[in-house]
Amino acid sequence: MKKTALILFYILSINSVNSQLFTKEKVINNENFDKPSMSWGYFLGLNNYDFNFDYKQDLKDIQVERTSGFNVGLIGNFRINDYFDLRFEPGLIMSSRNLSFNPIDFGDTEFLTNIHFREVKSTYIHFPLLLKISTKRVNNFKPFITGGVSTAINLSSNEKNLEDNSSGQFRSKKNVFFYELGFGIDLYLEWFKFTPSIRGVFAISDELIRDDDPLSPWTENVSFMKTSGVLINFTFQ
């Protein structure tokens, strides 16, 4: 699904560039679209989230299986000038990651899935504040880069759950902080502006809640756990 979205992104971008640069007749769509100081829109997209671990000892890593998720949200855009915009993009991000732990850490001679495997589902209410830096508009397209900070509330964190991994409950912190970097292209169509974009999301705060047992084989060797991910969004304004 992620590869399909990436291919679609590049096809749309290349087709737009070709049509605008090499077509003799150039019709300017929505010529004054970016003039208002405030504009609104919404986005739909895909995500692929990972966990990055730092360890206390050099033992076998926790294996992370990533799956594709879904994004949806709103956009508020404040125009600073022709090249800079400040954007607020609150949204809902749903993702899932599967963790596999090393059986040797448990002293087991055979693999028991219910002990060594954890499915970590995450439902984030995501609040990014981004600075969008654009090039000069060329006919009906305008490339840009974007970056900023964000915070998220993980509704599936299990932070307040009294049970831990010894009872099958993997816990993470409810509030997470990120920085974000990305790029995209504004495509000015006849009736609206369509924007495919790709953005990396990188947590700067430790998300893991340790088990009550300080020698827990699930959490004892982890010094830091943080999310990283890729968002592929399709924006309509």
Q: pTM here?
A: 0.81
**Single-letter amino acid, residue 71:** N
Residue 221 vs residues 60, 113, 215, 224, 230: alpha-carbon distances, Å: 10, 20, 8, 9, 27
How confident is the model over 112-152, as pLDDT tens digits? Answer: 556 788 889 999 999 999 999 999 999 999 999 999 999 99
Measure Cα distances from 54 to 15, 61, 191, 213 in Å.
Answer: 42, 9, 49, 19
- pLDDT one-digit tens code per residue, 91-107: 999 999 999 887 777 77
Q: With H, G, I as helix, E, B as strand and everything else as coil, classify residue 7.
A: helix
Write down the residue that tokens 């992370």 correspond to.
64
Residue 11 near residue 57, CB atoms below 8 Å: no
Cβ–Cβ < 8 Å for 152, 128: no
Domains and CATH numbers, the chain: 2-236 (2.40.160.20)
Phi, psi of 169, rounded to the nearest 5 degrees = -110, 115
Per-residue pLDDT of the chain (237 residues; tens, 9 = 90+): 544 444 444 444 545 444 444 444 577 888 888 889 999 999 999 999 999 999 988 888 889 998 899 999 999 999 999 899 999 999 999 999 999 887 777 776 455 556 788 889 999 999 999 999 999 999 999 999 999 999 999 999 988 888 888 888 899 999 999 999 999 999 999 899 999 999 999 999 999 999 998 888 899 999 999 999 999 999 999
User: What does the block give as tokens for 173?
Assistant: 């912190």
Q: For the chain, how many residues are written? A: 237
Rg of the Cα trace of the chain?
A: 21
